[in-house]
């Protein structure tokens, strides 16, 4: 049994046998009494099932490790597990803006029941397809006063300041949040904005507000200010923020990049057609219930083929514009509840995110979170080999670590024009690069189940993991 959360005084999460449990302590009893029967549906909180009466000795031991005894337990709830977990620096700007709007909607809805949020962290948010879930049940508190809103400084750092930098094209992706886990400070935002930018009234006012709300603390004993008008003041403030975030959401839909135009510019139609046919031939005999990790998804031309046959996909792509295109396309084609499950991860498999937070266990590494039954690496083996100088034996180890069972890849020979282009800057590696070397390297961890020629220089392979190489 492992502890999965560490910071909340009202309770914590533990995991056991691939299940997740929320321990709620007696300090949260007033909030529990305010919850309505439809609370979880209204706020898109993952389902919780009461198992308090099934308290195990192992769980008691875990509580003792945290200095607790059973008398402090209010409830033990088994929590619906959402997978894969993604973090804000792996989202698209659109996803961050939608998460910010969702946080506002949640606060407005809570106010109707006399409740409020004690924090406004982007780590409280998760995506399943295009549906947003609010994870942190214990962030909900009984409201003594609504205005000033305690977590407003955090809301600015996590959502508004990044949104402003996105608006002015100062940042195009959210990678810098990886080193700014509590969002962007006012000082950081100001340092990046050029003097020539004329800020609008909303942004100018938030320079002043941001200087006043640098940190938050929560207490139920906090006195309420402006008793009669505090709820209306907060509602006005939140709706003002909502309008700002929604206006930026509309501005970022038309961006392009080199890789987002790859299929229109660089892919021959005949090759594309044959490759889809070959992939279809491989997928038709694979169990539809498995999850596929599609590395280098681009704009999802082959991701769509996977979803014709399989129920679940993780699209891993390092180009942010491609990720935006994927999010828009999949949201329209396979919305939440469609029977297909998907996730977009903006990341580079060559430099995967490590574990972060308390003792590097609070937030799992990317590789831990995206391991899947089937891994696909179409058209990227040669890029990793030549551009990134990653040997095929090392690639085999990586894909073996990511795959639980199957692996699909495409070998592109040295006679192919695309290989000649990428090999130009690394010619020494070219003399070792051929089909036999490729098969030998991957035989360390895999065995060939099927191979299909696409054309004279390209071939699709389906591998299975060798026994004894489980991750």
Domain regions of the chain by residue span: 2-81, 89-251, 259-465
8 A C-beta contact, residue 340 and residue 311: yes
pLDDT of residue 259: 40
Instruction: Choose among 350, 464, 455: nearest CA to 408.
Output: 464
| pLDDT-based confidence at residue 41 (cuts at 50, 70, 90) | confident
Ordered alpha helix ranges (H), 177-319: 186-192, 201-212, 230-251, 262-266, 269-283, 303-309
Q: Percentage of the chain surpassing pLDDT 90?
A: 56
SS3 assignment, position 190: helix
Question: How many CB atoms lie under 10 A from the CB of residue 237?
Answer: 18
pLDDT surpassing 90 at residue 365: yes
* pLDDT at res. 471: 44
1 pLDDT band, cuts 50/70/90, is low
Six-digit token pair at 258?
């080199």
**Of 350, 262, 254, residue with least CA distance to 301:** 262
Quick one: pLDDT band at residue 418, thresholds 50, 70, 90?
A: confident
pTM summary value: 0.89
Position 263 scores a pLDDT of 45
As a whole number of angstroms, the distance between CA 430 and CA 390 comes to 13
The H or E element that residue 381 is part of is helix 381-382
Helix (H) or strand (E) holding 341: strand 341-346
Region 422-447: what's the mean pLDDT?
92
Radius of gyration of the chain (CA): 25
Assess contact for 106 and 120: CB atoms under 8 A: no
Among 42-46, 398-402, 410-414, which is the least confidently predicted range?
42-46
pLDDT at 69: 67
pLDDT number for residue 370? 97
pLDDT classification of 78: cutoffs 50, 70, 90:
confident
Is a pLDDT exceeding 50 seen at residue 219?
no
**Would you say residue 79 has pLDDT above 80?**
yes
pLDDT at 256 over 60: no
- Segment 24-41 shows an average pLDDT of 80
* pLDDT value at 71 more than 90: no
Structure confidence at residue 220 as a pLDDT band (50, 70, 90)? very low
Check residues 205 and 191 and name the one with the higher pLDDT: 191
CATH number of 259-465: 3.40.50.150
Tell whether the model's pLDDT for residue 217 goes beyond 50: no
The yes-or-no verdict on residue 230 having pLDDT over 60 is: yes
**pLDDT computed for residue 394 by the predictor:** 96
Q: 352 with 377: CB under 8 angstroms?
A: no
Name which of 301, 351, 357, 354 is nearest 330 in CA terms: 301
> 56 pLDDT exceeds 70?
no
């Amino acid at each position: 049994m492992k502890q999965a959360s560490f910071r909340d005084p009202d309770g914590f999460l533990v995991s056991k046998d691939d299940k997740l449990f929320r321990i709620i302590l007696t300090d949260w009893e007033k909030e529990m009494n305010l919850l309505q029967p439809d609370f979880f549906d209204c706020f898109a909180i993952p389902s919780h099932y009461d198992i308090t009466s099934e308290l195990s000795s192992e769980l008691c031991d875990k509580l003792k490790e945290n200095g607790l005894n059973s008398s402090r337990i209010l409830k033990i709830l088994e929590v619906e597990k959402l997978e894969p977990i993604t973090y804000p620096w792996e989202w698209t700007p659109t996803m961050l803006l939608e998460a910010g709007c969702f946080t506002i909607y949640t606060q407005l809805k809570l106010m109707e029941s006399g409740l409020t949020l004690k924090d406004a962290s982007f780590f409280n948010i998760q995506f399943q397809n295009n549906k947003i879930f609010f994870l942190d049940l214990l962030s909900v508190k009984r409201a003594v006063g609504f205005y000033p809103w305690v977590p407003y400084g955090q809301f600015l750092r996590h959502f508004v300041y990044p949104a402003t930098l996105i608006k002015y094209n100062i940042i195009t992706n959210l990678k810098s949040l990886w080193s700014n886990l509590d969002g962007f400070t006012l000082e950081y935002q100001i340092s990046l904005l050029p003097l020539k930018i004329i800020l609008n009234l909303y942004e100018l006012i938030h320079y002043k507000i941001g200087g006043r709300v640098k940190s938050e603390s929560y207490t139920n004993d906090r006195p309420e200010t402006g008793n009669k008008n505090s709820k209306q003041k907060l509602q006005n403030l939140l709706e003002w923020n909502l309008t700002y975030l929604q206006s930026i959401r509309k501005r970022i839909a038309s961006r392009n990049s080199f890789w987002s135009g790859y299929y229109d510019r660089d892919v021959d139609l005949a090759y594309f057609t044959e490759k889809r046919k070959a992939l279809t031939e491989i997928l038709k005999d694979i169990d539809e219930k498995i999850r596929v990790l599609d590395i280098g998804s681009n704009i999802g031309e082959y991701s769509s083929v996977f979803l014709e046959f399989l129920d679940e996909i993780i699209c891993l792509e390092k180009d942010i514009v491609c990720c935006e295109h994927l999010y828009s396309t999949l949201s329209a084609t396979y919305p939440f509840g469609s029977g297909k499950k998907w996730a977009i991860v903006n990341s580079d498999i060559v430099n995967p995110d490590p574990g972060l937070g308390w003792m590097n266990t609070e937030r799992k590494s990317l590789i831990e979170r995206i391991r899947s039954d089937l891994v696909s690496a179409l058209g990227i083996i040669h890029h990793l080999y030549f551009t990134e100088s990653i040997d095929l034996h090392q690639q085999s180890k990586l894909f073996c670590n990511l795959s639980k069972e199957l692996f699909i890849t495409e070998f592109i020979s040295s006679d192919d024009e695309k290989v000649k282009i990428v090999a130009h800057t690394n010619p020494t590696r070219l003399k070792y690069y051929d089909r036999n070397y490729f098969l030998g390297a991957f035989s360390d961890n895999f065995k060939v189940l099927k191979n299909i020629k696409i054309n004279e220089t390209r071939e699709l392979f389906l591998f299975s993991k060798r026994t004894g190489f489980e991750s």
